[in-house]
Amino acid sequence: MAGYLLARAAVPVIVLEKHADFFRDFRGDTIHPSTLELMYELGLLDEFLKQPHQELRELRAVVNGQTVPIADFTKLPTHCKFIAFMPQWDFLNFLSTNAKGFPNFQLLMQHEVVDLTFDQQRVTGVRAKTPRGELEIRADLVIGADGRHSVIQERAGLERQEFGVAIDVLWMRISKKETDPQQTLGFFQQGKLLVLLDRGDYWQCGFVIPKGGFDAIKARGLQQLHKDIVSFAGFLRDRVAQLDDWSEIKLLTVQINRLRDWCRDGLLCIGDSAHAMSPAGGVGINLAIQDAVATANLLAGKLRTGPVSVDDLRKVQARREWPTRLIQAMQVFVHRHVVTGQTSRRKDSLPFVVRLLKWFPILRQIPARFIGIGPRPEHICSRGR
Ligand SMILES: Cc1cc2nc3c(=O)[nH]c(=O)nc-3n(C[C@H](O)[C@H](O)[C@H](O)COP(=O)(O)OP(=O)(O)OC[C@H]3O[C@@H](n4cnc5c(N)ncnc54)[C@H](O)[C@@H]3O)c2cc1C
């Protein structure tokens, strides 16, 4: 997204992606109303909505067997009053295909950044591993958008604060049938959670487990895991045995962390590279996009003519840090009080917040706004060609 916006604003950009394609399974699928609004502002919305996707207007969860509404997106002041579900690889292919229309945009696949280059304290570029050997690329600005295992952040020596997370996620696929219930998303039960993402002909399942608990689950055996899944979503009973080998079940470690400084001379980190997000609320993709928009808004004008100062880079952090802090605080709260909290462990009980949402429909607009738009939404201010 940062590459798209900077190239659109006539800044020469090279995007390096270490894989040969964008086909990663592990990144979630939610495109929120805030991101859809950006697509509208860029004139891409009609084309975007032609891509295969599902639309979720109301977020519901099954908590200890009771279906409860959590968020109502239909009253949001945005063009799209829904979350679009689109696998992230389709979204990235869509963005990069459109970016390739800009003469200043270059996407180099299978180019893995392995190090930074420096001139004294200033970052001057990157070294990348490619199928044709190692390559050095010099740049006025290196943007670290390489996710939560960021090499760029690590090589830049930026200090990271970790916020303890008590959960990990098991990630697996189970086929879908037409008779299955509509997308509900979350099944909470006595301090456990199963998330189902509708990916057309299969359910992408995320089963939340206590951190470090995978070995114990393996020791109990696959059949016990099948039983656990069915206890959340009974309609999967006739298919859960499709998970017949542990290799089909991936362990995703969940982290929440944030850099103290998102930049240094010649380098800026954004997205998960600056602040790794948990899946709670499904907001990480959209927050990363907000960072990209702020980056282009604040820096494109200056980058057109050359390097930017550290003070310029700090403005991006200053703009995006408090929305990030707020959302990460919400994620920590959800982990403690909804997913693993005491209240959710009691049979048949509903956490107090969830009860309020059930009793007072108007309150559902609050989570809708927080999840769907988020604090301090960005708008496209960087100039087009
Ligand atoms: C289990 C799980 C489920 C989630 N579900 C959701 C969800 O439903 N909705 C949501 O909004 N968020 C979700 N999140 C959070 C979300 O995935 C992240 O916050 C979001 O993907 C961050 O985007 P990013 O562009 O910063 O990083 P990433 O999406 O991680 O992208 C980084 C990119 O950089 C590439 N890369 C990495 N290292 C290098 C390198 N050295 N050189 C070149 N390229 C490199 C990677 O291949 C990748 O393409 C989930 C997170 C987890 C752990």
Pocket test for ligand 1, best of 25, 27, 112, 152 (most atoms within 8 A of CB): 27
Please tell me the residue having the least CA distance from ligand 1 atom 6: 28
Q: What is the pLDDT of residue 385?
A: 56
**Separation of 148 CA from ligand 1 center, angstroms?**
7
**Separation of 27 CA from ligand 1 center, angstroms?**
5
Both tokens of 262, joined, read 């998102």
Say which residues have a Cβ less than 8 Å from residue 5's Cβ, sequence separation at least 6.
292, 293, 295, 296, 300, 380, 382
Evaluate if residue 341 carries a pLDDT over 60: no
Q: What residues line ligand 1, using a CB cutoff of 6 Å?
A: 16-19, 26-30, 112-113, 145-147, 151, 169, 206, 252, 254, 271-273, 277, 279, 282-286, 288
Sign of the torsion formed by the C-alpha atoms of 286, 287, 288 and 291: positive
Secondary structure (3-state) at 262: coil
Q: What is the pLDDT of residue 166?
A: 84
Could you tell me which residue, 194 or 345, shows the higher pLDDT?
Answer: 194
**Separation of 279 CA from ligand 1 center, angstroms?**
11
**Separation of 149 CA from ligand 1 center, angstroms?**
9
80-138 pLDDT, tens per residue? 999 998 888 899 999 999 999 999 999 999 999 999 999 999 999 999 999 999 999 99
Q: What is the pTM of this model?
A: 0.92
259-270 pLDDT, tens per residue? 999 999 999 999
**Separation of 288 CA from ligand 1 center, angstroms?**
9
Residue 339: pLDDT band with limits 50, 70, 90: low
Q: Are 357 and 70 in contact (CB under 8 A)?
A: yes
- Please report the atom of ligand 1 found closest to the CA of residue 30: 9
214-259 pLDDT, tens per residue? 999 999 999 999 999 999 889 999 999 999 999 999 998 899 999 9
Closest CA to 384 of 48, 67, 193, 102: 102
Query: What is the rounded CA–CA span in Å between residue 164 and residue 153?
Result: 20
Say which residues have a Cβ less than 8 Å from residue 20's Cβ, sequence separation at least 6.
109, 110
Q: What is the pLDDT of residue 347?
A: 58
**Separation of 277 CA from ligand 1 center, angstroms?**
9
- Please report the atom of ligand 1 found closest to the CA of residue 197: 8
Q: What is the pLDDT of residue 348?
A: 61
Query: What is the rounded CA–CA span in Å between residue 229 and residue 12?
Result: 49
Residue 272: pLDDT band with limits 50, 70, 90: very high
155-191 pLDDT, tens per residue? 999 999 999 888 899 999 999 998 988 766 688 776 6
Q: How high is the mean pLDDT of the chain?
A: 91
Give per-residue burial for 24-43: e unless 16+ CB within 10 Å, then b.
eeebbbbbbbbbbbbbbebe
Pocket test for ligand 1, best of 135, 285, 335 (most atoms within 8 A of CB): 285
Residue 353: pLDDT band with limits 50, 70, 90: confident
Say which residues have a Cβ less than 8 Å from residue 146's Cβ, sequence separation at least 6.
18, 113, 152, 153, 273
**Separation of 126 CA from ligand 1 center, angstroms?**
20
